[in-house]
Amino acid sequence: MASLLGLGILAALFFSSTFILNRAMSLGGGHWVWTASLRYGWIVLFLSVGLVATGRGAVLQAVLRNFAAHWWFWLLAGSVGFGIFYTGISFAASYAPSWVVATTWQLTLLASPLVLLAYGRRVPLRGVAFTLLIFAGILLVNLAQAQLTSWQDVVRGGLPVLAAAFAYPAGLQLVWEARRGRRGWIPHITDPVVDHNIGRVLLLTLGSMPVWLLLIVTVQPPPPTPGQWISTA
């Protein structure tokens, strides 16, 4: 239990640092498109090299086979769960301080049970009622931020995070449904690689690649800053 708690705290620390780094890159002149796309490009590289270097190349091969077999599903799940999610987080960093983005991100605690309800899962109403208190706190934070900046920046910093808060659990739930095979339009994927944590993350990351390519082509941001190459790694 202690080790699990420690891992949870460590994971929360690394995830929280994302908001700070994204804001720092934005203030340093880095475009949000590169902040998002480079991070997931690095993830593909690091996970792939890491699997091969540690003698788990078979996992990488299984990932590529499964992606080829269910490409449309992974494009959907990856684009929603990772693509829309991190696009919103990165875009918001251009208009809101990191602490406001991090606070607003807690909307995912309210979004997650709503996503489960959308998939027909049972959710304790008491838990939903508790998350409404969190929503009230987030609303107060954004109202306070509106006193320091324009409403336009509050909206630009808040709405993308709201979309991200729903997209992340929606994408992960798609994968959960595929593993269970309880939805007609979602393929039942029984490949053990989907139960492998690194394999599952790599599949979702590969599925998000079209989102990053589309953003780069359509937005046409200036070249990434030297700091972005390092901070997104």
Burial, 97: exposed, middle or buried (Cβ in 10 Å; 0-12, 13-18, 19+)? middle
Cα–Cα separations (whole angstroms), residue 134 to 19, 113, 121, 195: 19, 13, 22, 32
The two tokens of residue 99 are 């602490």
pLDDT number for residue 135: 86
The two tokens of residue 25 are 């890159």
Q: What would you measure as the largest C-alpha separation in the chain, in angstroms?
A: 55
| Residue 128 contacts residue 70 (beta carbons within 8 Å) | no
Grouped pLDDT means (10 residues each) for the chain, 233 residues: 51 75 94 98 97 97 98 98 98 94 90 89 76 86 87 93 96 95 87 96 98 98 94 91
**What is the reported pTM?**
0.91
Percent helix, strand, coil in the chain, to 5, is: 80, 0, 20
Separation between Cα atoms, residue 4 and residue 2, nearest integer Å: 5
The alpha carbon torsion through 152, 158, 161, 163 (nearest 10 deg) reads -80
pLDDT number for residue 129: 73
pLDDT number for residue 66: 98
pLDDT number for residue 17: 84
Its sign, for the CA torsion 39, 42, 48, 53, is negative
Angle between helices 2-27 and 32-53 (to 10 degrees): 140
pLDDT number for residue 1: 44
Separation between Cα atoms, residue 233 and residue 231, nearest integer Å: 6
Burial, 41: exposed, middle or buried (Cβ in 10 Å; 0-12, 13-18, 19+)? middle
| Residue 171 contacts residue 78 (beta carbons within 8 Å) | yes
**Domain residue spans in the chain?**
2-231
